[in-house]
Structure 1
Amino acid sequence: MSFQVTVQPSGHQFVCETGETVLSAAIRNGIGLPYGCKNGACGSCKGKLLTGNLTHGEHQEKALPSADEALGFALFCCARPDSDIVIEAREVAGVGDIPIKKLPVRVAGLEKVADDVIVLSLQLPGSDRLQYKAGQYVEFLLRDGKRRSYSMANAPHLDQPLSLHIRHMPGGLFTDQVFSTMKERDILRIEGPLGTFFLREDSDKPMLLLASGTGFAPIKAIIEQAIHSETERPMTLYWGGRRPADLYMHALCEEWARTLPHFRYVPVVSNAAADDAWSGREGFVHAAVIEDFPDLSGYQVYACGAPLMVAAAQRDFVARCHLPEEEFYADSFTSEADLQG
């Protein structure tokens, strides 16, 4: 049995098949609902159910608190209609125009850039290229049917293997493999591009880019795309880590700051040790932004990293710094622990 889904305020309609989530059906029909993790952990796909009934599958309480669900909010990545429904969601233009493909890829390189971070390079088959927007991600299709998501860390115009930044999560199903048995020329399978976190090139607002840890990966791709587009929009990058070593491409960011006239870089460390000899900014990275930018009303913000950081930045930038809510774009990274609930 299938049900019709109507999206407001656009009026777009699509059919959701039996057992299919609202988000899966939207993606299949080329409707650009916002989303991130696709597994009920990040909350990026949250919208409102206006009429009809649906049932939620497993999801994190932080992504959809019970109080929000009681007010009619829904997570479309894990919500299945029980009737025709009308939902309210802000659509993302252009996402449905790019085909989502499943592809075999060959491991082209494994570069350890920190004790717990590897840059994984993937070669696509033959002359095939993956069309994507800077900031999007791919999913690895694992043998047991599970999936793991990682953002592309290079811009789509670059004629080079896909680059992903993999942080080791001890005991992690995929990352243990990357850091132990994976080797060059291994064959993996991916699906993508996915996600609605990408550079909005139709704006002339200055950009504030916020990253924690390997959340730098899609931010790097966005910066590279902006450079390629020869944008004159001012860009300020805040990159946070617990220790200086977590800023594993610090030299690249410093080079951008030296060579790009509209680019500024602010590294922030929260738990520097005495032997780190750190003389830069300290504390939480989103707090450093608030100190420097009490008025974000004319800005566009791109944030990626730990869910707590992303949630705090969105809340505080809107409430305290006057950032328009619709100008906060985010990808909230979920760990393997998040996926296991």
Structure 2
Amino acid sequence: MPYQVTIQPSGHHFQVAAHESVLDAALREKGSVLPYGCRNGACGSCMGTILSGEVVYPNDKPPGISEREQAEGKALLCQVQPRSDLVIEAREVKAGQNLPVKTLPCRVERRELLAPDVMRLYLKLPNIERLQFLAGQYLDILLADGRRRSFSLANPPHADEWLELHIRRVPGGFFTDYVFNKMKDKALLRFQGPLGTFFLREDSPRPIILIGGGTGFAPLKGMLEHAFHIGLDRPLHLYWGARAKADLYLDELPRRWAEQHPQFRYTPVLSEPRPEDDWEGGTGWVHEAVTHDYPDLSGHEVYMSGPPLMIDAAKVAFADRGLPVEQLFYDSFEFASH
């Protein structure tokens, strides 16, 4: 029998089947969208609080939720299944609720090696198709054996002649090995998208801090190019964390933005600069550079994308600096090798 789920504080409600995740059921609804990212329990973007009712994870506790969070009544809505009617406290996202998720073929129009381990792909859709998406969302490349690989869209919605992906080589990675060693220009792929609720919220007056780790720069690039395109005049400060200078694979681009847009600032941070880098910029962990520059984050909005370790450390540090959870948006990059 289906169970009824009510979302607070909006009061929206919908039906969930006994062996269906709360998120899967919510995605069928027209009224709102629950935040989500990876949809495999790793990133924590879909976390909500169970106010009443019983839930269960079909498998082991997902990695994206801690024992402490679970003890506080929180749950990952992309994985958890109901065992009774539920009342859940969760943020809802209204922008993008009418964007259709499509499964489309595409052609690899061009490949560009941006760094020894980062490849930029330009994907061309059939002439009769365009993908409507929000800056910061991602798509899933659909592999022949049913596996999926998720990549953020690095281009803004208004520049959609090609879809731009930044793909980092994963040691032993099934798909990335193909991209770097076997893929040819004009190769054919299939994808599903747009996906995710990591996108720029345009209806707030707060200044924005954006933090990217490695190829986490990709969705932030799309967000910033969109912000410049629409004339967003809120202060924008991009922090980009990488190991060495070569890993800032498009460093000249944000430097050019800083010259062209007075509301934009750029702070690159290297954790392991090499002697040949001759680096005079910030060093250490990128989230610590943010807390050093912004001891009080209560009046800001923060967007961050990158590896889970960066995201998890930043969430704690930013909460200690007064950042409300509803002003934090993030996309945690999990890399699959199999």
Find out whether 1:279 has 2:280 as its counterpart: yes
By how many angstroms is 1:266 displaced?
0.7
Q: Distance in 2 between matches of 1:39 and 1:54?
A: 17
Residues 130, 160 of structure 2: 8 Å contact kept: no
Match of 2:332 in 1: 332
Q: Is the 8 A contact 1:40 1:59 kept in 2?
A: no
- Who is 1:2 aligned against? 2
SS at match of 2:256: helix
In 2, Cα distance between equivalents of 1:216 and 1:51? 39
- Alpha-carbon shift at residue 322 of structure 1 (Å): 2.0
State the identity %.
Answer: 51
Cα distance in 2 between the residues matched to 1:45 and 1:59: 17
Matched to 1:322, the amino acid is G
Q: Is the contact made by 1:34 and 1:45 (CA closer than 8 Å) also made in structure 2?
A: yes
Check conservation: 2:105, 2:191, Cα contact below 8 A: yes
Aligned to 1:70: 71
Q: Quote the residue 2:125 is aligned against.
A: 124
> 1:103-162 CA deviation, whole Å, 9 max, x = no partner?
111111111100000001111111311111101101111122221111100100114200
Q: If the length of structure 2 is used for normalisation, what is the TM-score?
A: 0.95
Alignment of 1:103-252 (within 5 A): 103-252=104-253
1:299 CA drift (Å): 1.3
Is 1:39–1:59's contact at 8 Å kept on the other side of the alignment? no
CA offsets per residue over residues 253-274 of structure 1, 9 Å max, x none? 1111111111111110010111
CA distance in 2, matches of 1:209, 1:233: 13
SS of residue paired to 2:290: helix
Give the whole-Å Cα distance in 2 for the aligned partners of 1:45 and 1:191. Answer: 20
What are the Cα deviations for residues 190-232 of structure 1, in whole angstroms up to 9, with x where unaligned?
A: 1111111111110121111111100000000000010011111
Give how far 1:178 is off. 1.0
What is the CA-CA distance between 1:87 and the residue it aligns to? 1.5
Measured on the aligned residues, the alpha-carbon RMSD in Å equals: 1.6
Q: CA distance change for structure 1 residues 61 and 112 in 2, over 3 Å: closer, same or farther?
A: same
Distance across 2 between alignment mates of 1:71 and 1:313: 20
Query: In the superposition, relative to structure 1, how do residues 323 and 25 fare at CA in structure 2: closer, same or farther (>3 Å)?
Result: same
Secondary structure at 1:95 match in 2: coil
Secondary structure, in 3 states, of the residue corresponding to 1:336?
coil
Unaligned ranges ≥5, structure 1: none
Aligned-pair distance for 1:60? Answer: 6.1
Contact 1:5 1:87 in 2 (8 A): yes
Instruction: Map 1:84-95 to 2 at 5 A.
Output: 84-95=85-96
Contact persistence 2:209–2:236 (CA under 8 A): yes
Q: Residue 44 of structure 1 corresponds to which residue in structure 2? A: 45
In 2, the alpha carbon distance for the partners of 1:73 and 1:132 equals 29
What secondary structure is seen at the aligned counterpart in 2 of 1:96? coil
CA distance in 1, matches of 2:171, 2:163: 24
Distance, in Å, in 1 between the alignment partners of 2:128 and 2:273 is 45
Could you tell me how far apart the structure 2 residues matched to 1:16 and 1:189 are? 30
* Deviation (angstroms), 1:292: 1.2
TM-score normalised by L of structure 1: 0.95
Which segment drifts farther, 73-82 or 210-219?
73-82
In the alignment of these two chains, the number of paired residues is 337
Worse-superposed segment, 208-217 or 71-80: 71-80
Contact 1:49 1:87 survives alignment (8 Å):
yes
**Displacement of 1:27:** 1.1
